[in-house]
Amino acid sequence: MARGNQESMSSATHPDYRPGLEGVIGGITKIAEINSASATLTYRGINVHELAEKSTYEETAYLLINGRLPTAHEFEHYKRTLAHERPIPESVSNILKLIPRNIHPMDALKVAYSALAAYDPDYAAAPTDHAANVRKAERIIAKAATIVAAHWRICEGKEPISPDPELDTAANFLYMLSGERADEETVKVMDASLILYAEHTFNASTFANRVTVATLSDLYSGIVTGIGTLKGPLHGGANEEAMRMLLEIGTPENAEPWLRSALAGKKKVMGFGHREYKNGDSRAAYLTKMAKKVAEKKGVPKWVEIGDIMTKIMVEEKNIHPNVDFPAAYAYYMLGIPIDLYTPIFVIARVAGWSAHAIEQLDNNRLIRPTCIYDGRSGVPYVPMADR
């Protein structure tokens, strides 16, 4: 029986059941809000478009963790702290060299953060120590880009490049990948994408992260849980799959026939649709605008053209809008970023949101333990082994 039919029957039999917990309130947060009707996302009350346009990833991370924008003095101190914390211990770098090179970068991130937990100066702090958790969050946020770039270079048979203390997160990531400083416009696109990806309320990885720390585990365990959850193609891996789909399509001329064939065959079109946004994902609109600037600069319009054709058909005929993963896919591709790094870039951004949620959960903690509906057999007698 198809999964959709099973869920419909279960919902009819058990009217309180919500497949995938859709519409179920899992908690109260002050970190971010999604307004489905207006297709807007705010961080601590500030529209994410304003942040992407006027802020930086570092300032946004400070906002998410501390609940407000920093003063000039606080921001300079915060940037110095992140710069100081960006390098990873040599032993962790050695671990990245020892693991198999065919490992997915998301699995390498899990390994690295698991190891980093023991090197944190606040390792022995109580799980509910707010100040220690904020310090842990700073280290977690600072090291994400370093881990991703280091592992990628190791897999390419190259030595990792140390972070430049003069560069911020987006610029440093691009520098540590290639060894060359990216131009200002490229850095701006990467920085804006990190801001847009930084937080998204109780999505699968964030909720899993909160479930983990709610047991009075620690922030690093929550981050590892989040990474494992984000790896799946129905969550963070969608941007990678979206670009592979676009490469399969290949040309603007092939976009419409490919899409119509996919729809006729009920094939999933990656990068479209979102449970929280029925009228479109505003992050997608902003990043599409940024991607078009990249296409114009690079002189490679075809990915944007394919995207426009697919978007028009999906919206007009299915009322399904692109989500942020769709323009992120071809924006990153035009910037020359390997497809396997798209989801790890999501991690570079989202560690800020995960950390903020972990701290919020631990500040007013209660173990997360939902109930379930038993739908199996009952009164089954035990049959001795000899009689089976």
Catalytic residue positions, numbered: 274, 325
Estimate the share of the chain in helix, then strand, then coil, as percent rounded to the nearest 5: 60, 5, 35
Q: How far is CA 377 from CA 171, 208, 269, 380, in A?
A: 58, 30, 38, 7
Does residue 207 come out as left (phi exceeding 0), alpha (psi in the -120 to 50 range) or beta?
alpha
Dihedral of CA atoms 205, 207, 208, 210 in degrees, nearest 10, equals 120
Q: How far is CA 233 from CA 229, 236, 240, 342, 381, in A?
A: 10, 6, 8, 12, 41
**Residue linked to tokens 């999604």:** 34
CB 334 within 8 A of CB 298: yes
List of E strands, the chain:
32-35, 40-43, 46-47
Burial class (CB in 10 A: 0-12, 13-18, 19+), 388: exposed
